[in-house]
């Protein structure tokens, strides 16, 4: 989970670098550094991120249930572009562990959309960054308003999730209208994805963090996507993805922070 934690040391360096970059390129900008400035510097250093519409992010303006906020990331390369999307990173800027998930995409998998569900702790910008095979970085951002009151970004029934820990379900959908050559599938895995709770002197309560840290989906031997995730992914992690099926069965392997391994194979197509 190191990749997902804010490291103050590197954040400091990143901030300094960013401040320098700002001086060089944006002399008029004197805004307070945001959480995103830190995170971006940590993840990408000084590399430019362009907001050119290559990647888009759908998120509700209001997080209706802070524990289950649906997010959809889409990427679209211009016709004839020979590059491919190598990596997509989803960041909930204000969460304690901002990097919700980092997806590595198979070169031939043609993944064009990923939907998942995340926890949103507070009013937060959400960023999705695509890294292309030529190293270029493309970004999309949305603002999500937190839900207050009794909505908390916690598992609703952790015992139910534990009772069938690692159970998987794959659903298949009709090909998306926008790309009829594509398949659309959804992987669900039962897991409380506990964020954990440190021993609190006051409440004397301890809940160990326990979440799915990596998940890999292949078709045959070919990678479709690999997810490195953290506690910002909702209970019962859920990934819906549009991709180019090669007709081979989908094989899923997942690992959690307690070292449990979960694996299952699903025939292609479904419907």
Partner 1 sequence: MMGPARRVTVAHLWVAAMVLVTPVSAGALHVEEVAPGVFVHVGQVALAAADNGGDIANLGFIVGEEAVAVVDTGSTPAIGKDLRAAIEAVTDRPVRYVINTHMHPDHVLGNAAFRGTGPGGGDPFVVAHHKLARALAGRAAHYVASTDAALGPGHVTAGDVVLPDEEVEDVRRLDLGNRTIVLKAWPTAHSDNDLTVFDPATGTLFAGDLLFMHHLPVVDGSIAGWLGLTLEAAASDGAPVRRVVPGHGPAIGHLPQDEDVQRDYLAAVAQEVRAAIADGVPLGRMVRDARIPSGRWALAEDFHRRNLTAAFAELEWE
- Residues found near partner 1 in the complex (CB under 8 A): 58-60, 64-68, 70-72, 115, 117, 121-122, 147-154, 156-160, 169, 171, 173-174, 188, 190, 195, 197, 200, 202-205, 207, 234-236, 238, 240
CB of 15 to partner 1, least distance (A): 25
**Choice between 84 and 156, CB closer to partner 1:** 156
**Choice between 84 and 167, CB closer to partner 1:** 167
Residue 107 contacts by C-beta under 8 Å, 6 or more apart in sequence?
84, 86, 133, 223
Concatenated DSSP letters of 144-193: EBPP-TT--SS-S-HHHHHHTTT-EEEEEEPPPTT-TT-EEEEEEE----
**Choice between 44 and 270, CB closer to partner 1:** 270
CB of 182 to partner 1, least distance (A): 14
Q: Are 116 and 103 in contact (CB under 8 A)?
A: no
Q: Are 71 and 77 in contact (CB under 8 A)?
A: no
The Cα-based distances of 256 to 43, 114, 138 in angstroms read: 23, 21, 30
CB of 98 to partner 1, least distance (A): 17
CB of 147 to partner 1, least distance (A): 7
**Choice between 38 and 236, CB closer to partner 1:** 236
CB of 184 to partner 1, least distance (A): 8
DSSP conformational letter for 98: -
Distance CA 21, CA 157 (A): 47
Strands (E), the chain: 49-50, 55-58, 69-75, 85-92, 99-105, 113-118, 124-132, 137-144, 168-173, 183-189, 212-219, 222-229, 238-243, 250-256, 261-266
Distance CA 141, CA 271 (A): 34
**Choice between 110 and 153, CB closer to partner 1:** 153
**Choice between 43 and 254, CB closer to partner 1:** 254
Q: Report which secondary-structure segment, H or E, holds 17.
A: helix 8-25
CB of 103 to partner 1, least distance (A): 18
CB of 124 to partner 1, least distance (A): 13
**Choice between 12 and 208, CB closer to partner 1:** 208
């Amino acid at each position: 989970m190191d990749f997902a934690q804010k490291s103050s040391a590197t954040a400091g360096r990143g901030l300094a670098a960013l401040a320098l970059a700002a001086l060089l390129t944006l002399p008029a900008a004197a805004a307070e550094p945001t959480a995103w400035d830190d995170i971006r510097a940590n993840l990408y250093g000084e590399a430019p991120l362009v907001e050119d519409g290559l990647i888009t992010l759908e998120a509700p303006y209001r997080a209706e249930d802070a524990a289950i906020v649906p997010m959809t990331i889409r990427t679209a390369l211009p016709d004839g572009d020979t590059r491919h999307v190598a990596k997509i990173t989803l960041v909930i800027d204000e969460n304690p562990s901002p990097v919700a998930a980092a997806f590595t995409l198979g070169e031939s998998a043609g993944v064009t959309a990923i939907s998942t569900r995340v926890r949103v702790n507070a009013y937060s910008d959400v960023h999705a960054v695509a890294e292309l095979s030529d190293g270029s970085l493309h970004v999309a951002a949305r603002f999500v308003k937190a839900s207050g009151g009794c909505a908390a970004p916690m598992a609703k029934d952790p015992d139910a999730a534990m009772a069938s820990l690692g159970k998987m379900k794959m659903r298949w959908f009709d090909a998306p209208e926008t790309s009829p050559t594509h398949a659309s599938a959804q992987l669900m895995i039962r897991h409380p994805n506990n964020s954990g709770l440190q021993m609190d002197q006051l409440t004397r309560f301890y809940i160990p963090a326990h979440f799915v840290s990596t998940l890999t989906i292949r078709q045959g031997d070919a990678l479709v996507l690999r997810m490195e995730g953290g506690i910002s992914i909702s209970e019962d992690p859920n990934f819906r993805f549009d991709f180019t099926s090669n007709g081979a069965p989908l094989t899923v392997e997942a690992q959690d922070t307690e070292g449990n391994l979960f694996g299952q194979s699903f025939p292609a197509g479904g419907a």
